Amino acid sequence: MDLRYTPEQEAFRREARAWLERNVPKQPLHSFDTKQGFEEHREWEKKLHAGGFAMVPWPVEYGGRGADLLEWLVFEEEYYRAEAPGRVNQNGIFLLGPTLMEYGTPAQKARYLPKMASSDEVWAQGWSEPNAGSDMAAIQATAIREGDHYRIRGQKTWASRGAFAHWMFGLFRTDPESKRHQGLSFILVPLDLPGVLVRPIRKLNGKAAFAEVFFDGARVPAENLLGPEGDGWGVAMSTAGFERGLMLRSPARFQSTAEKLVALYRENAERCDASLRRRVVECWIAAEAYTLETYRTVSRLLAGGRIGAEASLNKIFWSELDLRMHEAALEILGWRGELLPEAELATGVGAWLDGYYFALAGPIYAGTNEIQRNVIAERLLGLPR
């Protein structure tokens, strides 16, 4: 792995940095867990798309600029450096998009990817169910083939962006007699169909970050099947690899948090316990280690490799690192860490409390870390079940 950037990559960095400096909103957008903020973020995504930065490693015909994954990492570094808005369509562009590239038909790629890149269509993820969280093999929602469509019944829950999204990708049991991993299919579902009910789930702060979605005989065209019928588990594991191992959590996200944590400590060092200094340094080192591991993964992919079970190692690492960084920040802030950013005495507090709430969910979403440790034990270490 050569850690030196090429002249072309450095030129791309300068181009991306200049564009972001001109275009990143001067004032923070409202949370995309509100209807107003959701639309504001969609407008930002459209601007990214118009500038050629919506999804840089995608082919040009699908809304990208034909760059490679190394240039994507460069762009992510500049994106977080500019403190640009969060990506409201991250389930689409970072998870479903790469899966479509791998499993989609030419017609499906042409239909979905350009509108995904521009956020004309925003996607929710439909895997979890009330009795099937990290154990996706326990999914019970059905999609029964009836001629040229599927009839869908059941429920999905904890659908990120589901309250306002236009589409959902999910796993459904197309063989009602099947068990566990068998008989599941990966299907793309419009959320405005008759027979689909979306009910928002609100976070502690009252914002509608998730949704539960009920299907009561909704008819979905059979052409919305992604990959072979009954082989949805294999397709979903590809998506999970992108979620846990690469696309969803770029290293720049954690480098940015680590740099802010270091700055926060320096501002408050005189009133901090001495042990906090070591914890802050360890967080910064861990963020750099995650960056190097990601570059190694990308180098392997560019050489023709694939993301495998080692994605579970990445998922545990970044989720627990994120939580450690935010815990350290709140200890540095002391009682002020309990303040919301808009509070009168919250000068210098920033968004650490909000980030901490989100970080608490990290060991749960994208497959709980307990499940990931089972994957590591069985598939990487060869331990018995």
Q: Which residues are catalytic?
A: 243
CA 94/CA 253 separation, integer angstroms: 14
* Alpha carbon separation from 358 to 154, 204, 265 (Å, rounded): 28, 11, 21
Tokens standing for 130? 């009330």
CA 18/CA 26 separation, integer angstroms: 15
In three-state secondary structure terms, 200 is strand
Tokens standing for 115? 């509108």
Q: Are 100 and 109 in contact (CB under 8 A)?
A: yes
CA 259/CA 343 separation, integer angstroms: 24
Q: Are 83 and 24 in contact (CB under 8 A)?
A: yes
In three-state secondary structure terms, 311 is helix
* Of 30, 37, 26, 38, the residue nearest 84 (C-alpha): 26
What's the distance, CA 370 to chain centroid? 19
Residues in the chain: 385
> To which H or E segment does residue 156 belong?
strand 149-156
Within a 13 Å sphere around the CA of 306, how many CA atoms are in the beta-carbon half? Answer: 9
* Alpha carbon separation from 384 to 17, 276, 375, 379 (Å, rounded): 49, 39, 11, 10
Q: Are 287 and 220 in contact (CB under 8 A)?
A: no
